[in-house]
Amino acid sequence: MENYNLELSDRIWKFNESRALGLSTLSVYFFLLRIGIERTSLKFTISDTQISTQLKMTRKTVKVCKEKLRRFGIISYQSISGIPAEISLISDYPLILDNQHFDDDLNKKRKAKKQNEEVLVQSKILKTSVSEIDDISTKKIMDFPTLKEFIEYAESIESYDDNLLLEIKNKHQTWTNNGWKNNFDRPITNWKSALKNSLPYLYNSAIKNKKTIETIPTIRRIKIDGDS
């Protein structure tokens, strides 16, 4: 095992000359090599938590370093959730990598990461847009007038007439029942303007109703003999 120690130590340094692994990744590798020497085996089981504790690294950093070593073929392992991975130290990994193969693999990972980031950004934009629409809708609903406010504004309009009061009440009820949409099923975004424009029609309707009431004949009771 001592020979393996020297061979693997020498090999990792030679590999690092052509493809810099980084201090953290080298630290993880030499820690794993030390564990292998202690257990006199190139294959052993150890958890990320143990590595993290010994090297004073976060588990996330340990995972990244292990994945880099595996990608270069320096170690092999299979992750199983909740179970410490069985790690194998590879002794005959190539010192010179197929750069094209590695670059293609790296480009794929970068592309996938970029796509994930774009999806997250679009998701945030969509959520923000939906939230803004909800806020606008809520604000519009809250801006709809009460009957009292509706009548008070109608009375402030120059063309207002007392004969319109019943028609104005009915108009408020109609728009409320219809979700504050007009006869064309379009949202009423400015109820004051809509009411002001409706007054001439409401006035005509009020006059017509008044004439109808006035023309209804009065029915007199016919006296029958014997009535007192």
CB-CB contact of 163 with 210 (8 Å)? yes
Same domain membership, residue 127 and residue 65: no
Same domain membership, residue 41 and residue 82: yes
The predicted structure's pLDDT at residue 62: 95
226 domain residue, yes or no: no
The predicted structure's pLDDT at residue 213: 52
Same domain membership, residue 170 and residue 88: no
Same domain membership, residue 152 and residue 121: no
Same domain membership, residue 52 and residue 64: yes
Rounded to whole angstroms, the Cα distance separating 153 from 144 reads 13
Count structural domains, the chain. Answer: 3
74 domain residue, yes or no: yes
Same domain membership, residue 89 and residue 107: no
pLDDT tens digit sequence for 76-122: 998 777 788 899 999 888 887 655 555 555 666 677 777 777 777 77
Secondary structure (3-state) at 43:
strand
Same domain membership, residue 22 and residue 86: yes
The secondary structure of residue 216, as a DSSP letter, is S
26 domain residue, yes or no: yes
For the stretch 55-62, contacts whose Cβ atoms lie closer than 8 Å and that sit 24 or more positions apart, written own/partner, are 55/27, 55/28, 55/31, 57/24, 57/27, 57/28, 61/24, 62/28
Domain end marker among 116, 136, 156: 136
225 domain residue, yes or no: no
Positive or negative CA dihedral for 64, 69, 73, 78? negative
> Among 19-33, 47-61, 133-147, 176-190, which stretch is predicted with the lowest mean pLDDT?
133-147
Does this model's pTM top 0.75? My answer is no
**25 pLDDT band (50/70/90 cuts)?**
very high
The secondary structure of residue 84, as a DSSP letter, is P
Kindly tell me the burial class for residue 205, based on how many C-beta atoms sit within 10 Å of its own C-beta (0-12, 13-18, 19 or more). middle
Enclosing H/E stretch for 75:
strand 75-76
The b/e string for 46-82 (b: 16+ C-beta within 10 A; e otherwise) is bebeebbeebebeeebbbbbbebbbebebbebeeeee
210 domain residue, yes or no: yes
Rounded to whole angstroms, the Cα distance separating 63 from 25 reads 10
More confident residue, 222 or 139: 222
Positive or negative CA dihedral for 178, 183, 184, 189? negative
Same domain membership, residue 60 and residue 9: yes
CB-CB contact of 178 with 188 (8 Å)? no
CATH number at residue 18: 1.10.10.10
What are the φ and ψ backbone dihedral angles of 23, each rounded to 5 degrees? -60, -45
pLDDT tens digit sequence for 135-171: 555 445 557 899 999 999 988 888 888 888 888 899 8
Identify the domain containing residue 189 by its residue range. 144-215
113 domain residue, yes or no: yes
CB-CB contact of 96 with 107 (8 Å)? no
CB-CB contact of 109 with 25 (8 Å)? no
The predicted structure's pLDDT at residue 164: 84
Same domain membership, residue 119 and residue 88: no
227 domain residue, yes or no: no
Same domain membership, residue 83 and residue 104: no
The predicted structure's pLDDT at residue 183: 80
Interior angle at CA 94, CA 90 and CA 97, nearest 5: 130
Same domain membership, residue 109 and residue 37: no
More confident residue, 165 or 212: 165
Which residue is it, tokens 């880099």?
A: 68
Domain end marker among 118, 136, 154: 136
188 domain residue, yes or no: yes
Same domain membership, residue 87 and residue 54: yes
